[in-house]
Structure 1
Amino acid sequence: MGKRSGVTAEYATPEADRVPFAQKLAYGMGAFVNNTLAAAIGGMLIILNLGFGMNPALVGLASALPRVTDALTDPLMGFISDHTRSRWGRRRPYIFVGAILSGVFFAVLWMMPTGKSEMFYFWYFLIGSTIFYLGYTIFATPWVALGYELTPDYNERTRLMGVQNFIGQLAYIVSPWFLWIMTHKPWFSTPVEGARSLALAIGAVAIVIGIMPAIFLRERFVAAPIAAPVNVSGTTRPQESMWDIVTRNTTLFFKGFATTIKSGPFRRLCVATFLVFNGFIMISSFQSYVIIYYVFGGNQERGAEYAGYAGTIGAISTFGVIFLVTWLATRIGKRKAFYFSTGVSMVGYALKWFCYDPTRPWLVLLPAPLMAFGLGGLFTLMGSMIADVVDVDELETHERREGMFGSIFWWVVKVGMAAALAMGGFLLNATGFDVALGSQQTSQALFLLRLSDVLVPFITSGIAIWTIAGYPITEEKAHDVRRALEARRTAAGTQPVTSP
């Protein structure tokens, strides 16, 4: 047989392991809903200040506190989903119900009455968004876990994640227009009216599109091995008190959580994601400051225009990146594809030092397509690689924990993002930048702004590559694990059962 990057051609994807394109689209619809809701609740926060007159500090507090609850409920929902047994599967019932709850709660969240006090709006939004995030978790955590089990094939997993990432990116083409929609005078008399109408539309989209993965997809592991089942119908073991049930499941939850984070390959994926994503997030605002105050000498209109051009080029380039990285990963392996995509983004970050030039402002557009490789490649590859880790975990523990792995991974992303945004503010202050100075920023402040804008994501991305260098699951290893699992399932008579 011929060779392909050191792996024999016997690893070509069997037809039985391929996910039909229509089903990939159905799974990708979940990504569109997931990203739209996440972008909308952040992008519409400004209406609390512009429309309801809330103090920006209270707005920040009301939006941050529910994230604490969200971070706690994600792993819990992952555990519940992994241990559910129903005729419809482990994931689909929650996806269906969660999509409906998310859409309804999001719409209600923005139906605040006018003429109330600032503290009324604070508590309304705080309690309402906490409830919304609960519905959002019920939808998102099982949806993520479902993607890990749709195919057992090493390369088909990458193709699946490429499609879902591509469709999910469409949300970020639409979401930048939310503020314009809410404040467009010919449509709405006030921003509050615009927010209410937009929330109703987003809620409807979340419900109609969000239930599609539950309707059109089927689970492979309806009867997956677990330590102790939690029956969705509510039946329990004979002669067990409620306290016994709570105690047993609490013990299982913490045991599963501990086992998951002990996985060395999984920790490497979490650390690499934390570094690449949050290195970018930490200095996400620096690029605009550099373009406005260094390239255009404080001209906010011109600087914002070019920053917008660069952002649009980056967003459009991400679609091409997803295609390329997906194809590349099936040729040279996921680890090497990560080296490539992250390495190209590092080149883009480095080019900013030379291309952000006051004498040639058009050069600010050149690094954008290269930087798009960072996040575009990251979220195409990570989901596929975590699915491989789940198989290794099953081989070692005799349990399947897609929900727990997915929830902890995204918990790391959320907590890291909050920390990165906070650290970014401190770093901005440390540069000496003072918005009150306008175009009269000191040369040292501008130098440190530029240096941070380049070095922070460059260094974190480089460390991420070093981290993934020790990731042990190659294509050959993944196929060995699969063969061992299938042999064990056959011997035990527990081959995957597809949900109805």
Structure 2
Amino acid sequence: MLALALTGQIAWAVENSWFNTFVYDTITPDPRPVAWMVAGSAITATLTTLFMGTLSDRTRTRWGRRRPFILIGYILWGLSTVLFPTVAYIQTTSVAIVMVVIADSVMTFFGSTANDAAFSAWTTDIATTETRGRVEGVLNLSVFLAQIVAMVAAGMLIDSVGYFTFFYTLGGIVILVGLVAGSLLQDAPLPAKADETQRPFLTEFTELFDINLLKQNRALFIILLFIMLSSIGMQVSLPYLIIYLENYIGVTKSEFSIIGGAVMVGSAVFAVPFGILADKWNKRNMLFVATIVSSLGGIFLSLVNTLPLLALTGLFWQAFSVAMGIASVAWLKDLLPEKSRGKFLGIRMIFWIAIPMVIGPWIGSTLIQNFGTPTTLNGQTGFVPAPIIFQVGSIISLLALVPLFFINDKK
């Protein structure tokens, strides 16, 4: 379990952190392809997780229910990661841009199928009341370790061996772990056929987009609206963060690894008291405080240029963003209808990933084109991201507080 969880989270963390810099450094410094790639990946991830998750629920094979999706998915995920950097060999920039968006979406499809849909469902299948805490502990540990690897090790490795060797190695590890761990994985026993009451597949899938759900669960959708707006604010700058630090501030990838590692460790330390407060304190008050402090952190991050201050402001920006996530998700789960929890957690992906990662990077790209510094890289014209992306993103995050005036967490 740990091998699959850790490998999957590292692959996701690297995609979120370094695929965008790869496009900027090797194909074009135009910010629009980054926005297109992030949007395509987000839509693919959301639809794949919802669709393939529902499909894996209904699958019955002699190899198991989740195992085929995990085994084959991880292998193809690793292979697509190996092939991803080869788009840089395409000489025509417009063709290379189209292919990099397609390649990232294909990789996301396999990753979402293997990890987000099948593996996540498998961990739920095998966990019992006695073991669920340990399972969740392993999963949360893998996320933290993956972020450390992506932030600390990846930048230094790319600086020393280059993008191509780095992606080839990462893809090879994903293939190897998927082949070995996927082959050894044991599916949970299938429920007896007599207990199955399956409705048509498309009926279950399309119910996720039923507008009547909004009318029936007003409080839930107010929380989802907060999650959507705050996530849009974060996505205005996050896809361009490393590009900004490297090209505007002058930070090397190795130096970013130090900053990113410090921020991730600090955020993880803060996560524990945040989790305790989310259970004991009024969640709306916690969201107000966390959103304001995180937004101020983003604004101050745009005003500093030394490593210590970048690390400090980045810590406030990200640590209190973690607090926002903990409180909002905890509040959301408190409100989930008992019989529809899976459905609403699927809907959360639309508000948390699909919409923000389409709108946020587009806003960031537009700001960079209008306020960024013109540049030429490898013969291609583009722009260096400007500090305004953090300032506008923080303002949008503050606007997420408006819906909270129409709801209260009574505690």
TM-score by length of 1: 0.59
Q: What is the percent sequence identity of the aligned residues? A: 16
In 2, Cα distance between the equivalents of 1:219 and 1:466?
A: 44
Q: State how many pairs are aligned.
A: 394
Would the alpha carbon gap of residues 105 and 349 (structure 1) be closer, same or farther in structure 2, given more than 3 Å must change?
A: closer
Larger Cα Rg: Structure 1 or Structure 2? 1
**Aligned partner of 1:250: which letter?**
L
Would the alpha carbon gap of residues 31 and 411 (structure 1) be closer, same or farther in structure 2, given more than 3 Å must change?
A: farther
Match of 1:320 in 2: 269
Match of 1:267 in 2: 221
Match of 1:197 in 2: 165
Q: Deviations over 1:393-445 (max 9, x none)?
A: 25xxxxxx73x54443223323212211222344567xx845369xxxxxxx9
**Aligned partner of 1:196: which letter?**
F
Q: SS of the counterpart of 1:110? A: helix
Q: 1:272 Cα deviation (Å)? A: 3.2
Q: Deviations over 1:105-139 (max 9, x none)?
A: 22133345847544554454444334322212211
Between the two structures, name the one with larger relative contact order (CA 8 Å, sep ≥ 6): 2
Pick from 125, 131, 141 the counterpart of residue 117 of structure 2: 141
In 2, Cα distance between the equivalents of 1:346 and 1:174?
A: 29
Pick from 340, 347, 353 the counterpart of residue 293 of structure 2: 347
In 2, Cα distance between the equivalents of 1:382 and 1:410?
A: 14
In 2, Cα distance between the equivalents of 1:420 and 1:166?
A: 28
Note the residue ranges of structure 1 that are not aligned, 5 or more in a row: 1-25, 188-193, 230-247, 293-297, 395-400, 438-444, 475-500
Would the alpha carbon gap of residues 170 and 305 (structure 1) be closer, same or farther in structure 2, given more than 3 Å must change?
A: closer
Match of 2:78 in 1: 103
Note the residue ranges of structure 2 that are not aligned, 5 or more in a row: 376-385
Would the alpha carbon gap of residues 382 and 98 (structure 1) be closer, same or farther in structure 2, given more than 3 Å must change?
A: farther
**Aligned partner of 1:469: which letter?**
N
Corresponding position: 1:181 with 2:178: no
In 1, Cα distance between the equivalents of 2:407 and 2:147?
A: 28
Would the alpha carbon gap of residues 323 and 182 (structure 1) be closer, same or farther in structure 2, given more than 3 Å must change?
A: same
In 1, Cα distance between the equivalents of 2:263 and 2:29?
A: 33
Would the alpha carbon gap of residues 156 and 182 (structure 1) be closer, same or farther in structure 2, given more than 3 Å must change?
A: same
Corresponding position: 1:276 with 2:276: no
In 1, Cα distance between the equivalents of 2:85 and 2:301?
A: 42
Would the alpha carbon gap of residues 468 and 213 (structure 1) be closer, same or farther in structure 2, given more than 3 Å must change?
A: farther
Q: SS of the counterpart of 2:210? A: helix
5 Å-filtered alignment, 1:326-405, equals 326-329=275-278, 332=280, 336=282, 339-340=285-286, 343-344=289-290, 346-350=292-296, 366-380=312-326, 392-393=338-339, 402=342, 404-405=343-344
In 1, Cα distance between the equivalents of 2:109 and 2:98?
A: 17
Greater shift in the superposed pair: 138-147 or 281-290: 281-290
Would the alpha carbon gap of residues 418 and 165 (structure 1) be closer, same or farther in structure 2, given more than 3 Å must change?
A: farther
* Conserved? CA contact 1:275–1:464, under 8 Å: no
Pick from 201, 204, 215 the counterpart of residue 249 of structure 1: 201
Corresponding position: 1:228 with 2:167: no
Q: Deviations over 1:190-240 (max 9, x none)?
A: xxxx433222221233244457589567659846976526xxxxxxxxxxx
**Aligned partner of 1:315: which letter?**
M
Q: 1:29 Cα deviation (Å)? A: 4.9
Match of 2:352 in 1: 413
Match of 2:57 in 1: 82
5 Å-filtered alignment, 1:13-24, equals none
In 1, Cα distance between the equivalents of 2:165 and 2:404?
A: 45
Q: SS of the counterpart of 1:228? A: coil
In 2, Cα distance between the equivalents of 1:196 and 1:303?
A: 18
* Conserved? CA contact 1:352–1:367, under 8 Å: yes
TM-score by length of 2: 0.69
Q: SS of the counterpart of 1:170? A: helix
Corresponding position: 1:172 with 2:147: yes
In 2, Cα distance between the equivalents of 1:382 and 1:213?
A: 34
